[in-house]
Structure 1
């Protein structure tokens, strides 16, 4: 009789836990953040506008020194987005997209300064990821450059790289906006089973 009563209590306890688990939702990703969505849209417009104008700019406007302030502003915007996104619980996918945009901004700066002579090696990519964007007028190996060099402000961005770079930034910032909109629709949560 005692064994049946213990089994009965175990079954009731299991049923109670199962019904409690069925009513509990597990949050896998953060909620929608209107600020990040808006920041991503504004930055996308800023970068797209700048790159569009560079496609048709005079030669001197393609020089690194003519674009240094733009790169600094874009990095500042990405840093602000990163700080905001990192303050939000379960926001890793958004942070990853922001970091990809920062990495691609670093590559664009390297291209504009003429700091790379070929596709980046895995060591150069690791340096960019570890040390970030070098906004100085020089090339530094520790920031992904092929070699150290100084006074690169007059180097010009090749117009032929602008359209694919523009598409890449539109893709990254669009991914951030798409992710935020998916969060708004509730696509980022799942029920525990």
Structure 2
């Protein structure tokens, strides 16, 4: 009888040791719901934002409230299409990266809208709103990538918040 009692205790101890080992292994495992941080996407989106801001400043330099001329800006739209497409292909090649892909698709759609508006007669007064919308998209993509780099759980709702307004150099007077 005593041998049977010790045998049961040893079996119970083994079960507990196996359970603890499994618990430790599971506890040390991280589950990634999104793809890894990609420096190329981070750098590419940052460069696109810089090019876009330069473009918007250039086309808004038209004196008066008239339309910003489209002629001479065709290269900007061609280059941005290629760059966003390249970033999208890169993002799509990484597993669990569909949110980044969707954000890049939206950015591409908005570049196409901007070009269409520009061809049809983009008013200089419309440029600040377009700048804010595009900067919101850039911030969403960059916030998401930087969260991946830190290992945070990205919050899509927070990433899509509107951009903060830049400080005005006129003392707040219009």
Give TM-score scaled by structure 2 length.
Answer: 0.70
Which of 14, 22, 27 does residue 22 from structure 1 map onto? 27
Task: Say whether the 8 Å CA contact 1:61–1:67 is kept in structure 2.
Answer: no
**CA–CA separation in structure 1 for the residues paired with 2:101 and 2:139:** 14
Alignment-derived partner of residue 96 in structure 2: 90
Report the CA distance between 1:66 and its aligned residue.
2.5
Aligned length in residues: 148
**RMSD of the TM alignment (CA)?**
2.9
Is residue 2:54 matched to residue 1:49?
Answer: yes
Task: Indicate the structure whose relative CO is greater, using CA pairs within 8 Å and at least 6 residues apart.
Answer: 1
- Greater Rg, structure 1 or structure 2? 2
Report the CA distance between 1:112 and its aligned residue.
1.6
Q: Secondary structure at the match of 1:45?
A: helix
**CA–CA separation in structure 1 for the residues paired with 2:67 and 2:91:** 33
**CA–CA separation in structure 1 for the residues paired with 2:149 and 2:20:** 34
Is residue 2:77 matched to residue 1:110?
Answer: no
In structure 1, the gaps of 5 or more residues are 1-5, 115-155
Which of 145, 154, 164 does residue 180 from structure 1 map onto? 145
Alignment-derived partner of residue 45 in structure 2: 40
Task: Say whether the 8 Å CA contact 2:41–2:87 is kept in structure 1.
Answer: yes
Report the CA distance between 1:29 and its aligned residue.
1.1
Give TM-score scaled by structure 1 length.
Answer: 0.64
Task: Say whether the 8 Å CA contact 2:67–2:122 is kept in structure 1.
Answer: no
In structure 2, the gaps of 5 or more residues are 1-10, 155-174
Q: How does 1:1-193 map onto structure 2 within 5 Å? A: 17-57=22-62, 62-114=68-120, 156-188=121-153
Q: Secondary structure at the match of 1:65?
A: coil
